[in-house]
Amino acid sequence: MSTTVDPSQSLYIKGLPEKVLVEEIKASLYALFLSYGDILDIVIKKNNKMRGQAFIVFEEISAATAALRSLNGFSFYDNNINIQYAKSKSDAIAKLDGTYKPKLSAEDIKRKATSAAAMSATKRQKSSDSDDEDAKMGRVEESEDDSD
């Protein structure tokens, strides 16, 4: 089952050569796609999960659409590339439209979770201490009420 993705300024490209330097691929993609419109960003990750893939962000949706229609299946370094609209908004577009939120690194997520757990434990301790104080105060008030 194929899901359709709405047209956007960002294109997802797969089928890129894995043994060519990232800088060389980036320069070649820029030269190839520039004729379709202004390019805001080209993102190529080196990790295993993203190997052979890239994202190209155009200033205009019409430029991205023209590039997709013309270059999908194009032979690039002897590989036929597959081009689709990206499923999510790129950071470059989010920064332009004011919706950008920095992504947390794995270390930041771990630090935040540890901090939240510590805060929760502190709140539980304070709550427990407060309950003890209330119980003591309740007994004192009861004994005062009994003497009347």
Task: Give the range among 13-22, 30-39, 87-96, 134-143 with minimum mean pLDDT.
Answer: 134-143
Q: What is the DSSP string of 29-54?
A: HHHHHGGGS-EEEEE---SGGGTTEE
pLDDT in tens, 15-57: 999 889 999 999 999 999 999 999 999 999 877 778 899 999 9
What class has domain 10-97? alpha beta
With 60 as the cut, is the pLDDT of residue 72 above it? Answer: yes
Give the span between the Cα atoms of 135 and 15, in whole angstroms: 69
Task: Give the range among 10-19, 24-33, 131-140 with minimum mean pLDDT.
Answer: 131-140
pLDDT in tens, 114-125: 877 777 777 666
φ and ψ at 9, to 5 degrees? -75, -15
Report the 10 Å Cβ neighbour count for 102: 7
Q: At what angle do helices 61-71 and 22-33 cross, to 10 degrees?
A: 100
Q: Which pLDDT score is estimated for 108? A: 73
Q: Which pLDDT score is estimated for 120? A: 75
